[in-house]
């Protein structure tokens, strides 16, 4: 299991288009991946799950992966978030 904390800093947070890009990236990996905000944890490959967290600009989240490509998966998602989804 591999985990990393990051902060979402793009204008709209993890909603609509950014969330779609995030889920598409998460689905490129074999590992199980979760997004954790405070005490809630959801499947990072589920659009409804990710949207249900209500992640806005400035929110700290944990990305957790478990599987054969866990470290690569988490680092790729952190990189996507840090790029502000290329907005």
Instruction: List Cβ neighbours of 84 (8 Å cut-off, separation of 6 or more).
Output: 9, 10, 11
Catalytic (active site) residue 42? no
Given the residues 2, 4, 6, 15, the one annotated as active site: 15
Here the tokens at position 32 are 């199980």
70 exposure class (CB count in 10 Å sphere: 0-12, 13-18, 19+): buried
Residues designated as active site = 15
């Amino acid at each position: 299991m591999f985990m990393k904390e990051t902060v979402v800093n793009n204008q709209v947070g993890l909603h609509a288009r950014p969330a779609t890009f995030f889920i598409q990236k998460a689905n490129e990996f074999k590992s199980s991946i979760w997004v954790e905000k405070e005490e809630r944890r959801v499947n990072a490959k589920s659009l409804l799950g990710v949207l249900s967290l209500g992640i806005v600009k400035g929110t700290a989240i944990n990305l957790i992966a478990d599987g054969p490509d866990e470290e690569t998966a988490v680092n790729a998602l952190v990189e996507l978030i840090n790029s502000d989804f290329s907005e």
